[in-house]
Amino acid sequence: MRILAKLHAYPPHHNAGAEWAAHSLLRALAARGHRVEVHLSEVTDSREPFALDGVQVIPP
């Protein structure tokens, strides 16, 4: 299954509880074979897409 999350920020560039909780859920889904992407709405330090624990993160 393809899973898409639209979030304002994401670890490791944004270290807050809600973001890490979302990552825990999304990481578990990726580990079970789902294709997981997070699209960010705020500018981060990274301008290029990156992966964190199997979760693909796409900066704006």
- E runs forming strands in 1-60: 2-7, 35-40, 50-52, 55-58
Report yes or no on 14 lying in a domain.
Answer: yes
Report yes or no on 42 lying in a domain.
Answer: no
Query: Residue 25 has which token pair?
Result: 């859920």
The whole-angstrom separation of Cα 25 and Cα 55 is 10
Tell me, what's the pLDDT at 30? 98
Tell me, what's the pLDDT at 38? 97
Spatial contact of 34 and 54, defined as CB atoms under 8 Å apart:
no
Tell me, what's the pLDDT at 42? 87
Tell me, what's the pLDDT at 56? 98
The whole-angstrom separation of Cα 9 and Cα 18 is 10
Domain that holds residue 13: 2-35+50-58
The whole-angstrom separation of Cα 44 and Cα 27 is 20
Report yes or no on 28 lying in a domain.
Answer: yes
Tens-place pLDDT, residues 1-57: 999 999 999 999 888 899 999 999 999 999 999 999 999 998 877 789 999 999 999
